[in-house]
Structure 1
Amino acid sequence: MRALHRNRLPQIDGTQLLTDAGLETTLIFLEELDLPCFASYPLLGNSDGRQTLKSYFERHLAIAADYGTGFLLEAPTWRASRDWGAQLGHSPDDLARFNKRAIELLAEVRREAASVSPLVISGNIGPRGDGYQPDTAMSADEAQAFHAEQIGWFLDTEADMVSAFTISTVNEGVGIVRAAAEVGMPVVLSYTTETDGRLPDGTPLGEAFQRTDMLTGGAAAYFMVNCAHPDHFRSALESDAAWLRRIWGVRANASRLSHAELDEAEELDPGNPAELGRDYAQLKRILPNLRVYGGCCGTDHRHIEAMADCCCQCQAA
């Protein structure tokens, strides 16, 4: 089987796509699974785990079917890179198999989801370190060399693209974009912000996008923001700034808590799904190219349905 959309992503042509919610927080807090290092990819190692992941995606796909949107399937591979895998006792060969199995699972989901189209498959990449604690020592060249390994594992699969989430420094973002561009894989880069709308290393959000484009020749397909509540970054979206047109997706947190507070939280803060949906509608008015809607920490399928209700009704059948 081959990638269906690698040569032209549907969202580039204006198609609105829903995507999933906070996978790891859903599995840990709502399904009471133990995920060391916040890693969901080990579930791919057995049939029960694969079925858990499949059911999770199917709940979200049902919403896309109801609202007549496409869907972006993100692989459960946010932690499936060399440094995190080593902490879980997995070798690079093990990780290669896990990453490929993740795309195989999503390809199976895509084949069975006849009522949703288009369905885009993305290989999900996370930060080399803790996304809440920026690695300011890593250069762009080091980041490129590190992330090229996982991107390479996705190349010979049905993945249409790769998406990097919770990135906290421009150097790491630049390295990821360069690594994907070097092998011709469409790449989407998502930065996270603190409560002041700046990256965890202090870089203003707009500056991060502009510098990334400048240092990569605009190679990213588009940018996103994730793992922050809309209240945290809305003020950073300067009126009429040209870089706003490069933000095509948002995966926000349900909670208004800071990253430090979320790190210490022992209970899930799901916020208010309806309110978050209205926040997305406001973001849609600010961001002229916003067309990918999903969630991050604390969100589940209820939040995705609220986003669809506020932003995608025009596509409902």
Structure 2
Amino acid sequence: MDKLFELDLTGKIIKFFNCYLVKGECLVKDDLWIRNGIILDGLAIFFSEKAMPDILIDVGGNIISPGLIDVQVNGAYGYDFSNPNHDIDDACTQIAERLPQTGVTAFCPTIITSCQELYPKLLSGYRKYISKPNCSKMLGVHLEGPFISKDCAGMHPVHYIMQFGIDPVKTISEVYGPNLNNVKMITIAPELEGASTAAAYLSSQGIIVSIGHTNSDYESAESVVSSGATFVTHLFNAMPSFHHRKAHIFGLFSVSKTPLYIGLIADLVHSHPAALRLAEAISPGHVTLVTDCNTAFGLEDGLYTFGAQNIQVEAGK
């Protein structure tokens, strides 16, 4: 398959067979014809142009689907996007080259809560990276912190978590630096003072504002959504559960005018299968699968580090 990309395929009809295609909500065994990157109707082409495939590819009973987009990749294959000691261009290149093997064709390098001085340096490095052919495309950086809740920090270093302060816009510039051109998404906790002002400013800059790592009540979350937040970072994780007297952010899904997109780690470890079904039920068509993968992803069994945490990989998990 790799050699296929080295050929001049202009005008060539490629037929993938012995495969399953995603059609609606079903997997259907069918053939896939393409030419110049456009999906063809095999029968129509045969009868209208009397054309036959130039190249036949046996998919071996596997699935062909549109490329996946992962908006939360903390690192992989030994690289950590939050580690300033890793060469950024090398990290992006190595990960982008390998992600297509997992079906991911576009991704957001994710920087978790870090020392304030590191953000401008890291973001400057990511601005210089240019996506390469036949690799996963870098869509922009996801900044997951430092404006999150200390009570719901998860693996984030608590001592680096910050408040927005009196002037959220000024604080954002001081922490991240003045240039946010390559930032695609920022995760914040709605309960922080100034969060709504921050959400309004960031969304006005074309940045996706996500709610996450939060202990927010419903009212604070609703205010941030009204100010521009449109996403929830790994729903169910690093946040309190729903309570009938304290709806927390889950109350947002009772309001139909706020179709929030949901990031969901569907590895059956972070969330129960019933929770995954619930997520689709409360926000149909708006569930976004994420890996939230880290340095140890794609490595052999062993002990690795992610930030200040040790990660043990056993039996590939």
TM-score (norm: length of structure 2): 0.41
Query: Relative contact order (alpha carbons < 8 A, sep ≥ 6): 1 or 2 greater?
Result: 1
TM-score (norm: length of structure 1): 0.41
The structure with more strand, counted as a fraction of residues: 2
**Structure whose alpha-carbon radius of gyration is higher:** 2
